[in-house]
Amino acid sequence: MAKKKTKPVFIGMKLTVEQAALLAQLQEAFDSTTKTEVLLRGLELLAKSNTLSTIPALQALSKDQEVTAQPTTSLELARLEAEVRQYSNIVQQTKNKTEGVIRQVVEEISKTDKILSKYGGDSSALVQILLDIQHENNWLPRDALIWVSQKLGVPLSQIYHIATFYKAFSLMPKGRHPVSVCMGSACHVRGAPRLLDKVIEVLKIKPGQISRDMQFSLDTENCPGCCALGPVMVVNGEYYSNPSTKEIKQVIAACK
Amino acid sequence: MPRLNSATDLEKLRQEILNRAKGKRTVSVTNGTDGRARGSQDIIQAFVAEIEKQGLKDKVAVKSTGCHGFCEKEPIVLILPEEICYVEVKPEDVPEIVSTTLAEGKIVDRLLYQDPATEQKITKESEIPFYKPQNRAVLGNNRFIDVESIDDYIALGGYSALAKALFKMTPEEVLNDIKKANLRGRGGGGFPAGRKWETTRNAPGEIKYVIVNAHEGEPGAFMDRALLLGNPHSVLEGLIIGAYAIGSHDGFIYLRHDSPITIGVVTTALAQAEEYGLLGENILGSGFNFSAELHRDIGIFVSGESSALMTAIEGAAPEPRPKYIHTSVSGIWQRPTNLNNVETWANVPLIINKGVEWFTGIGTEGSKGTKIISLAGNINNVGLIEVPMGVTLRKLIYDIGGGIPNGKKLKAVYIGGPLGGCIPESLLDLPVDFDELWEAGAPIGAGSTIVMDETNCMVDIARYFLDFLTEESCGKCVPCREGIFQMLKILNRICEGNGREGDIELLEEISGVAKDASLCALGQTAPNPVFSTIRYFRDEYDAHVKKKRCPAGVCKMLSAVEKS
């Protein structure tokens, strides 16, 4: 017999007070030993007839094996069944999720390992390794950094020192389509701030931010080295010379 | 390709390459950063396909070259040996060029450069006014070299300076030549390269390093990128010669990660040189060993500073250190390290090959040779130019640069990037010279020139550069980190129309402290934009502070106040 608990729990699931009472009554009625059996018996009866009696009726039922249940009990049982299903779904989802997370971490680590092996565990290549990780993932995942720290024997704090020192590194995922506007001096005198305003208006995000759908991220840079085109917007590595608002919209729409 | 084991092997190979190319025409297409952004890749493909189609494959070679300098008119197609220069070519023009010029030897008139002053069409590249006053000793070879081909460089006499140094000169003689030539560092400081080399050579320690500083963090500067992308072997040859003179066997080429094209080109160049035996063990059979490694770094602006750069190569964050002991004596891993800029290294083979007299024959008393300068900003011919030292700024801007677009008036020329200074219109007759420009408050730096017209506000420019510098300062020392930040705050205030009486004097005071007390050159020269704009354009500052007015109409808040 199940022990009486202050917080009634049914196969790991919290029950409402009414459900718990119902369960206790069912257990008594069937005189069963396990909770699962109670439920199974209940479901069995449910399958036999759509109309189960209320709890007193059920008690009667256990005596004379006659099924004349009330609709309320059947509803309760149906609800219980649904909740069990829901619970098992949650268990499955959590399991999948954990597996997904584990798989992701394993993937990240194996990718990082490939990069590390390229440099032969040389700790002076730290910046290059971080750059490769950044190129590979578009950002620096924390797990990868921890792995690098352990593999190279470099303290994590030192890795974060470098990762936060440079603007080129991102500790947050970047948008799928990186957009940047050159703010170099040659572009500045040719009106780069005005271009940046236009891009902000179209993308509706500020420099350093990522759009909500994770599609775009906006950054400023200092001179990609094509001053004759200035002011320049760079989208996915393509250069656009002083685009109008309309042209920016077209370029952005083409990315989607 | 077999290894070259002697100077004779190299000469033999050179003859072989020249014989192979005999009687062939060359189509050289600019494929640098600007060119690529304007579709030069498609043009190269179109040429290859069209030449194949018209059956000229054996008679014409197509070369994808680095920047020719004339960025404004790219993509440029140059037909050699006639030097026919077509500008702003589109893929659609290719069939016509192939059938008319390559097959029949006639000229496609509509693609020629038209001089805006005389409206004359110009066929030859060397006669275009943009190129005419230049002396492209270092950059000129870019147009003959396919960036992926070491053979093209060897055909032009490449690596003969290395052979000369290794077999006919002692390291001391090489060093003396560089000292006598008075080659000054092209990266910004203008320090004599020979003296630096000597210090490293004489410094105690078996292991010494040499570095190519190709960081170029300056906005509006693209000299080093273009040189390294267009002619990587010239830099490499200079580096090997320098290593021989210094007695170093390991070198680094420090590059920024965000120019993947350059990284690719340099990687290929290193591999090719190694294959030919020009790099690695026993170079050209001389017994001299030297290997170079590409160091790809992120590089913020301060990474270009020598001690910061060396810290970065060691794998730490690029923070400069006090230089009581110079990096030439104690650099990477506390070993003597010699660092020079890309352009400085590229000058070395020329000096060894052509002689000290040739080099000292160009330029002024204190500054010898040529200087590569990037012209950008509000100017008609944006581009990369190489002029003998001593040319006046006026010639630079009006003769080569073609003046200011849209009939605007020139206000100032900003030289040397964020750490440089401005030269007002009245001083345009100053020559390009390390010392003279230093005195005028606008050190030449690496050679970036940004032209400003009357629509640019000088206070805004100073604010812009400080804004750039606050983000690029490493934050290690207080005068730089806090000084620049406080100056920026004041400048922001002035630009927003909230400037107070005495702000300009306060700026000057903070500038002085930052200049005297900062650890490295970044902090020491960071107040330069403020100093030089106050020095030449105090009236604009006064208008902002006292009259709450921006004369150029750039500063947003002020213009709004004025209108309402």
How far apart are alpha carbons B404 and B379 in whole angstroms?
5
Q: Report pLDDT for B373.
A: 92
Is B312 in Cβ contact with A127 (below 8 Å)? yes
The sign one gets for the Cα dihedral B333, B337, B343, B346 is negative
Mutate to test the interface with B, among A182, A189, A220, A251 (most CBs of B within 10 A): A189
Taking CA–CA distances from A159, the nearest residue in chain B reads B316
- For A107, residues 6+ apart whose C-beta sits below 8 A from its C-beta are none
Is A227–B377 a contact, with Cβ atoms under 8 angstroms apart?
yes
The rounded distance, in Å, linking the Cα atoms of A201 and A221 is 18
For A197-229, write each residue's pLDDT tens digit. Answer: 999 999 999 988 888 888 898 988 887 777 778
Are A229 and B468 a contacting pair at CB < 8 A? no
Residue A92, chain B, CB below 8 Å: the answer is: no
Chain A contact set for B221 (CB, 8 A): 223
Instruction: Say if the Cβ atoms of B376 and A186 lie within 8 Å.
Output: yes
In whole angstroms, give the CA distance from residue B94 to residue B56: 14
Per the model's pLDDT, the better-predicted residue between A74 and B416 turns out to be B416
d(CA B36, CA A239): 9
Residue of A190, A227, A236 best to disrupt the B interface, most CBs of B under 10 A: A227
Test B34 with A223 for CB contact under 8 angstroms.
no
Identify the three-state secondary structure at position A38.
helix
Q: What is the pLDDT of residues B38-52, one digit of tens each?
A: 888 899 999 999 999
The shortest CB-CB distance from A224 to any of B33, B72, B383 is to B33
Query: Which of A131, A186, A226 is opposite residue B37, by nearest beta carbon?
Result: A226
C-alpha distance across the termini of chain B, in Å: 74
Nearest-CB residue to B298 (from A168, A182, A239): A168
- A177 CA: distance to closest CA in chain B (Å): 16
Chain B: residue nearest A122 by CA? B315
Spatial separation of the C-alpha atoms in residues A203 and B222, rounded to whole Å: 30
SS3 B4: coil
Q: What chain B residue is nearest to A152 in terms of C-alpha separation?
A: B315
The pLDDT of residue A11 is: 52
**How many Cα atoms within 13 Å fall on the side-chain side of residue B175?**
16
Ramachandran assignment for B107, one of left (phi > 0), alpha (psi -120 to 50 degrees), beta (any other): beta
A164 closest CA partner among B166, B317, B284: B317
Which residue on chain B is closest to A125 by alpha carbon? B315
CB contact under 8 A, B465 and A185: yes
Check A124 against B383: CB less than 8 A apart: no
Selecting from A124, A131, A161 the residue whose C-beta is nearest the C-beta of B314 gives: A124
With an 8 Å Cβ cutoff, is A236 touching chain B?
Answer: no
pLDDT for res B189: 81
Q: Where are the beta strands (DSSP E) in chain A?
A: 9-10, 13-14, 177-182, 216-221, 232-235, 238-241
d(CA B386, CA B530): 29
Task: Decide: B482 and B527 in contact? Cβ < 8 Å.
Answer: no
Provide, as residue numbers in chain A, all residues whose Cβ is less than 8 Å from the Cβ of B452: 189
**A and B: number of Cβ contacts within 8 A:** 118
Q: Are A70 and A51 in contact (CB under 8 A)?
A: yes
Predicted local confidence at residue A127, as pLDDT: 85
Give A226→chain B minimum CA distance, Å: 5
> Closest partner residue to B33 among A162, A188, A226, by Cβ?
A226
- Can you list the domains of chain B with their CATH numbers? 22-128 (3.40.30.10), 150-359 (3.40.50.11540), 370-453 (3.10.20.600), 458-563 (1.20.1440.230)
**Closest-CA distance of chain A to residue B37, Å:** 6
Mutate to test the interface with B, among A118, A124, A185 (most CBs of B within 10 A): A185
CA distance B364 to B182: 11
Partner-chain contact A185 B377, CB within 8 Å: yes
Nearest alpha carbon to residue A28 among A58, A70, A52 = A58
Condensed to tens digits (0 to 9), the pLDDT of residues A136-194 reads 888 898 888 988 898 888 899 989 988 888 878 888 888 888 899 988 888 888 889 89
Q: In this complex, is the C-beta atom of A234 within 8 Å of any C-beta atom belonging to chain B?
A: no
Q: What is the pLDDT tens value at each position of chain B, 564 positions in all?
A: 678 999 999 999 999 999 988 888 899 999 887 788 888 889 999 999 999 999 888 889 999 998 888 888 888 999 988 889 999 999 999 999 999 998 888 999 999 999 888 889 999 988 999 999 999 999 999 999 999 999 999 999 999 999 999 999 999 999 999 999 999 998 888 899 999 999 999 999 999 999 999 988 787 788 888 899 999 999 999 999 999 999 999 999 998 887 788 899 999 999 999 999 999 999 999 999 999 999 888 777 888 888 999 988 888 888 888 888 899 999 999 999 999 999 999 999 999 999 999 999 999 998 999 999 999 889 999 889 999 999 999 999 999 999 999 889 999 999 988 888 999 999 999 999 999 998 998 888 888 899 999 999 999 999 999 998 998 888 889 999 999 999 999 999 999 888 899 999 999 999 999 999 999 888 999 999 999 999 999 999 999 999 888 888 888 765 444 444
CB contact under 8 A, A183 and B374: no
Nearest-CA distance B108 → chain A (Å) = 25
Q: Does A224 contact chain B (CB < 8 Å)?
A: yes
Report the sign of the C-alpha dihedral through residues A60, A61, A66, A72, in that order: positive
Q: Which of B87, B75, B136, B153 is nearest to B115 (CA)?
A: B87
Q: Is there a contact between A229 and B296 if contact means CB atoms under 8 Å apart? A: no
Choose the mutation target among B257, B310, B373, B380 for the interface with A, i.e. most A CBs under 10 Å.
B257
Measured between CB atoms, does A165 come within 8 Å of chain B? yes
The predicted pLDDT at position A138 comes to: 82
pLDDT for the residue A54: 46
Tokens matching residue A10: 């049914």
SS3 B466: helix
Instruction: With beta carbons under 8 A apart, name residues in chain B contacting A188.
Output: 219, 461, 464
A159 has a chain B CB within 8 A of its CB: no
CA pair distance B300, B201, nearest whole angstrom = 30
Region for residue B407 given its phi and psi (left: phi exceeds 0; alpha: psi -120 to 50; beta: otherwise): left
Contact B258 A223 (CB under 8 A): no
The answer to whether A155 faces chain B, any CB pair under 8 Å, is no
Number of neighbours of residue A237 by Cβ within 10 angstroms: 10
The tokens for B289 are 């060993």
With an 8 Å Cβ cutoff, are B221 and A229 in contact?
no
Which of A182, A185, A222 is facing B450, going by the closest CB pair?
A185
Contact B298 A190 (CB under 8 A): no
Considering CB atoms only, which of A182, A185, A226 is closest to B414?
A185
User: How far is it, in rounded angstroms, from Cα A166 to Cα B166?
Assistant: 41
Residues from chain B that touch A239, judged by Cβ atoms under 8 A, are 37
Q: Token pair for residue B300?
A: 């913020």
Which residues are CB-contacts of B128 (< 8 A; sequence separation ≥ 6)? Answer: B70, B85, B113, B115, B122
Which residues of chain A neighbour B37 with C-beta distances below 8 Å? 226, 229, 232, 238-239, 241
The per-residue pLDDT for A101 is: 77
- Contacts of residue A198, defined as CB under 8 A and 6 or more positions apart, other chains included, come to A243, A244, A245, A248
CA-to-CA separations, A109 to A117, A160, B84, in angstroms, rounded: 12, 18, 55
Tokens of A207: 């420099």
Confidence of residue A102 (pLDDT cuts 50, 70, 90): confident
In angstroms, the separation between the Cα of residue A209 and the nearest Cα of chain B is 17
Question: Is residue B558 exposed (0-12), middle (13-18) or buried (19+ Cβ within 10 Å)?
Answer: buried
Q: Measure in Å the smallest separation between the Cα of B300 and chain A Cα atoms.
A: 7
Interface test with B, best of A149, A167, A222 (most B CBs within 10 A): A222
Q: Could you give the percent of chain B with pLDDT greater than 70?
A: 98
**Among B297, B374, B452, beta carbon nearest to A127:** B297
> How far apart (Å, rounded) are the C-alpha atoms in residues B300 and B320?
12
Model confidence over A11-21: pLDDT tens digits? 555 666 777 77
Among B314, B315, B450, select the one facing A186 at the smallest CB separation.
B450
ipTM surpasses 0.90:
no
Option in B34, B220, B258 nearest A184 (CB): B220
Mark yes or no for CB contact B222/A225 under 8 Å: yes
Contact residues for B29 (Cβ-Cβ < 8 A; gap 6+): B35, B40, B43, B44, B47, B62, B63, B64, B65, B75, B76, B77, B78, B89
